[in-house]
Amino acid sequence: MEEKIKEAARILAESKHIVAFTGAGMSAESGIPPFRGEGGIWNKYDPASLDIEYYYRYTQQSWSIIREVFYKYFSSSVVKPNPGHEILAKWEKEGRLDCVITQNIDDLHKVAGSSTVYEFHGNMSRFVCSKCGAKFPAQSLKLTEKPPVCPDCGGLLKPDFIFFGEGIPLDAYNGSVEAAQKCDAFVIIGTSGQVSPANMIPSIAKQHGAKIIEINMEPSTYTKHISDIFIQGKAGEVLPKIDEEIKDKR
């Protein structure tokens, strides 16, 4: 692994435009379970409960699962960024990293200090009214077992993350494609690559000549055909090691 970390650090030290593309594995060391693989959320819950039609049609059933999986869990434990999130925020501050494209809805990149974050699947720390469109921070709402309603108009509130069957936020989509086309190094961190259209972003970077570095606990759909370097390990441990190596190259 050490050789690959050195090689990744050499590539990143020479890169002018780095983009990080993160999935649930990025937050695993912050105590948030991934969706697939060992301990995955979809091993316990049916993803259909996150389908937008299901939410509007069977609101109580869908909300009970959403609250259990995302909100009860988050409010009960202090979920905070891990060293991996912090390194990405540091690289942005150093002018090394252009942006983070994340599939995660946990807000941890922003909490860690990253500012250009394209939230491909939205963000669970906000709710949006399905009737009047007003948005509210999750903390400002009392999230009980009853589906949340809009303080302004009484309409049904929906977590501001993207349900299956919903479109990707246009600003996140366009920003991500543009960044992937422009970057010279693209770091894929903790994603299985199972969900489209997010999973086509790495190939855009590849097609535009970027060097692809992948950090994952196990091979993903990218490892064979897209990744130039595959580093098997935990995001929160590998990223600080790469940063250490880059420091020595300054």
Q: Given the rule CB under 6 A, which residues bind ligand APR?
A: 23-25, 28-29, 34-37, 40, 103, 121, 190-192, 194-195, 215-218, 220, 234-235
Min dist CB 112 to ligand APR, Å, is: 15
Whole-number Å distance between alpha carbons of 218 and 216: 5
Q: Which is nearer to ligand APR, 137 or 197 (CB)?
A: 197
Q: Which is nearer to ligand APR, 40 or 155 (CB)?
A: 40
Write out the two tokens for 35: 């969706």
C-alpha pair distances (Å), 69 with each of 32, 35, 39, 113, 248: 10, 11, 13, 25, 42
109 is annotated as an active-site residue: no
Residue nearest to ligand APR (CB): 25
The one catalytic residue in 85, 121, 208, 225 is 121
Min dist CB 209 to ligand APR, Å, is: 24
Min dist CB 144 to ligand APR, Å, is: 25
Q: Which is nearer to ligand APR, 45 or 58 (CB)?
A: 45
CB 209 within 8 A of CB 195: no
| Residues constituting the chain | 250
C-alpha pair distances (Å), 223 with each of 29, 61, 147, 202, 211: 22, 38, 41, 11, 13
Write out the two tokens for 203: 């190939």
Min dist CB 215 to ligand APR, Å, is: 6
Q: What is the number of H-type helices and E-type strands within the chain? A: 10, 9
The catalytic residue positions are 121
